[in-house]
């Protein structure tokens, strides 16, 4: 997605350790017009798939995922990274946070993820795939099905994309980054 790639080049910063900082439009401050374009692009790319629910993970996945859910006219469910004591019928998976370097139990309430539902997962970044694999686990615990996964930014030099391909998951990434070496942003195509 050219508009997104240009914005990454203009406003993105490499933090070292393979981390891209895009907090002026995605991870802290949010550009609603860009989110709308991102939502439309995902809806176009997954146009051939029937979706019952959009799923994401807090916090930065919520903005793009909400746009997609709104355009598709379905509910958005977001996984929590800390299990609230009040959650009913919890479904959870242990994940490793790429940016924080710690482990946590990501969870959703089984009240909102039903057997047979067709789920589209949308997130801000795909890195080593810990969150995405956790989502596959949680959705399968519910007896639901992941029909696709969409990422605003895929860091193709990390292992997540290959892990999802091995599992036969359909992935659509709007900007694919081949390298952040020497703090240079290099796109895969």
- Contact residues toward ligand 5GP (CB under 6 A) are 19-21, 27, 57, 60, 98-99, 123-132, 160
Minimum Å gap between C-beta 116 and ligand 5GP is 26
In the complex with ligand 5GP, the residue whose CB is nearer, 117 or 124, is 124
Cβ neighbours for 140, distance < 8 A, ≥ 6 positions apart? none
In the complex with ligand 5GP, the residue whose CB is nearer, 112 or 157, is 157
Here the tokens at position 104 are 């946590």
Minimum Å gap between C-beta 129 and ligand 5GP is 5
Minimum Å gap between C-beta 82 and ligand 5GP is 15
Q: How far apart are CA 69 and CA 77, in angstroms?
A: 9
In the complex with ligand 5GP, the residue whose CB is nearer, 48 or 102, is 102
Minimum Å gap between C-beta 58 and ligand 5GP is 9
Minimum Å gap between C-beta 155 and ligand 5GP is 6
CA 36-41-44 angle, to 5 degrees, is 125
In the complex with ligand 5GP, the residue whose CB is nearer, 28 or 114, is 28
Q: How far apart are CA 146 and CA 141, in angstroms?
A: 12
Q: What is the DSSP string of 44-63?
A: HHTTTS--SEEEEETTTTHH
In the complex with ligand 5GP, the residue whose CB is nearer, 47 or 153, is 153
Exposure letters 58-75 (e unless 16+ CB within 10 A, then b): eebbbbbbbbbbeebebe
């Amino acid at each position: 997605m050219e508009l997104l790639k240009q914005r990454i080049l203009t406003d993105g910063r490499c933090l070292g350790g393979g981390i891209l900082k895009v907090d002026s439009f995605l991870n802290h401050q949010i550009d609603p017009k860009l989110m709308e374009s991102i939502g439309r692009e995902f809806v176009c790319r997954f146009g051939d798939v029937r979706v019952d629910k959009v799923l994401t993970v807090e916090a930065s996945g919520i903005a793009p995922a909400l746009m997609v859910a709104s355009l598709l006219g379905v509910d958005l469910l977001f996984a929590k990274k800390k299990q609230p004591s009040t959650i009913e019928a919890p479904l959870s998976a242990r994940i490793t946070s790429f940016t924080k370097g710690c482990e946590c139990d990501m969870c959703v309430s089984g009240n909102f993820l039903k057997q047979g539902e067709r789920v589209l997962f949308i997130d801000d970044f795909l890195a080593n795939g810990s969150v995405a694999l956790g989502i596959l686990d949680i959705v399968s615990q519910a007896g639901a099905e992941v029909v696709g996964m969409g990422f605003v930014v895929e860091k193709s030099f990390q292992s997540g994309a290959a892990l999802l391909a091995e599992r036969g998951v359909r992935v659509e990434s709007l900007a694919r980054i081949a390298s952040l070496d020497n703090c240079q942003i290099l796109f895969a195509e």
